[in-house]
Amino acid sequence: MRRISKFLVAFSLVLFLFGCELDSGENFYFINLEVVSADFPENFIMGQTHSIAVSYRRPDDCTFFEGFDVLSPDDSTRNVVAIGTVFTNDDCNSTNDLVEATLYFTVLNSESYLFRFYSGRDNTQQPIYVEYEIEVVDDTTNQ
């Protein structure tokens, strides 16, 4: 009985270690997409969620929108980067398409918000931002 148990343990270990071949090569990577513009409402209403249409450049047909990375260095500033996934297995054709995605934002503070969208790099490799400042209003005056 002990021989069978030892054999089963050894066999299970061999299957575990060598039974599956994992592909360790990744076929994609992430990039920052260049935001061209954003369409904001005239002002934000306190406590509401607003949809913001963001236009970005898709450099080729191997790049796909993944989402937004939003950093908040303080209560009123939002640094936004559109993130893309680039698949490396395909032959890519340059497109430079202008594509739109929606960013949803809930207003939680009563002061104006500054949105800074990453838009590429200048000649000295410093980041360029498209900036928008939006005032917040209290909707209770309209009720």
**Residue 75 is part of a domain; what is its CATH number?**
2.60.40
In a domain, 16, yes or no: no
Average pLDDT, the chain: 86
Q: Which domain holds residue 104?
A: 28-142
- The average pLDDT across 38-44 equals 97
* Residue-level pLDDT at 115: 98
Q: Comparing C-alpha atoms, which of 18, 55, 21 is closest to residue 36?
A: 55
Number of domains within the chain: 1
In a domain, 23, yes or no: no
Distance CA 79, CA 112 (A): 14
Read out DSSP for 14-67?
A: HHHHHS--------EEEEEEEEEEEE--SSEETT-EEEEEEEEEEEETTEEEEE
In a domain, 137, yes or no: yes
Range from 7-16, 58-67, 93-102, 118-127 carrying the lowest mean pLDDT: 7-16
In a domain, 8, yes or no: no
In a domain, 21, yes or no: no
What's the whole-model pTM score? 0.77
- Tell me the two tokens of residue 26: 């990744």
In a domain, 78, yes or no: yes
In a domain, 80, yes or no: yes
